[in-house]
Chain A
Amino acid sequence: GQNIDQPTEMTATEGAIVQINCTYQTSGFNGLFWYQQHAGEAPTFLSYNVLDGLEEKGRFSSFLSRSKGYSYLLLKELQMKDSASYLCAVTDSNYQLIWGAGTKLIIKP
């Protein structure tokens, strides 16, 4: 079967760095997305990785290793507004998106 694993919840301190991991087992791979979802709101796009390596976008970076079936989202200089759920989603060989359950990130002052 197809599976996406992420930690259910993480806690970090304002100003610090946090890494949210995502591992996947899917039938084929055509890219990995990270989305941010604030409570009660729609998911919004953060990043897309299709090749191995690190993609940096401001305070957020996303890393992919296809051989290991692994990605992480790195958030630097954490702000209170970063408190949200972070969703990992993988595109399989049929170009269908398989979603993880999301990681709820709690930022403490």
Chain B
Amino acid sequence: DVKVTQSSRYLVKRTGEKVFLECVQDMDHENMFWYRQDPGLGLRLIYFSYDVKMKEKGDIPEGYSVSREKKERFSLILESASTNQTSMYLCASSSLPASGLGVDTQYFGPGTRLTVL
């Protein structure tokens, strides 16, 4: 079974703090993703990575950065947390289709519910 783990289920931080959210997958997946999920909105892609040390901006990258130093680990960084970053953060991973094209099933971690006060 694919396992995606996230460092914390619940996190409370103060405005202006630097926040690190860690994600680890154990299936040797090439692709990793960070989303945020807010009530009434679909999952919104923050950043994704197709390879080690590679990153691509998603739909809402402002205020976030990422790091992928190892294949299995993808970190999301909030440089200076703000109250509008209070949300559920979901990490996901997927393999690369054999054809090299397309999208394979994404496997999600349990999520981190971040509250910024």
Chain A min CB distance to B44 (Å): 8
A97 at the interface (CB under 8 A from B): yes
Chain A min CB distance to B63 (Å): 20
A87 at the interface (CB under 8 A from B): yes
- Residue total for A at the interface (Cβ-Cβ under 8 A): 23
List residues of chain B with CB within 8 A of the CB of A4: 42
CA distance A87 to B108 in the complex (A): 13
Contact among A30, A33, A40, A101 with B42 in the assembled complex (CB-CB below 8 Å): A101
- Residue total for B at the interface (Cβ-Cβ under 8 A): 18
Residue on B with the closest CB to A50? B102
B110 at the interface (CB under 8 A from A): yes
What number of A-B contacts does a CB cutoff of 8 Å give? 47
Chain A min CB distance to B26 (Å): 15
List residues of chain B with CB within 8 A of the CB of A44: 108
List residues of chain A with CB within 8 A of the CB of B108: 42-44
CB distance A43 to B105 under 8 Å? no
B12 at the interface (CB under 8 A from A): no
A79 at the interface (CB under 8 A from B): no
Chain B min CB distance to A50 (Å): 9
Residue on B with the closest CB to A41? B110
List residues of chain B with CB within 8 A of the CB of A45: 105-107
CA distance A105 to B110 in the complex (A): 20
Chain A min CB distance to B101 (Å): 7
List residues of chain B with CB within 8 A of the CB of A101: 40-42
B45 at the interface (CB under 8 A from A): yes
Residues of A within 8 A of B (CB): 4, 8, 30-31, 33, 40-45, 48, 87, 89, 91, 95-102
Residues of B within 8 A of A (CB): 4, 40-45, 90, 101-103, 105-111
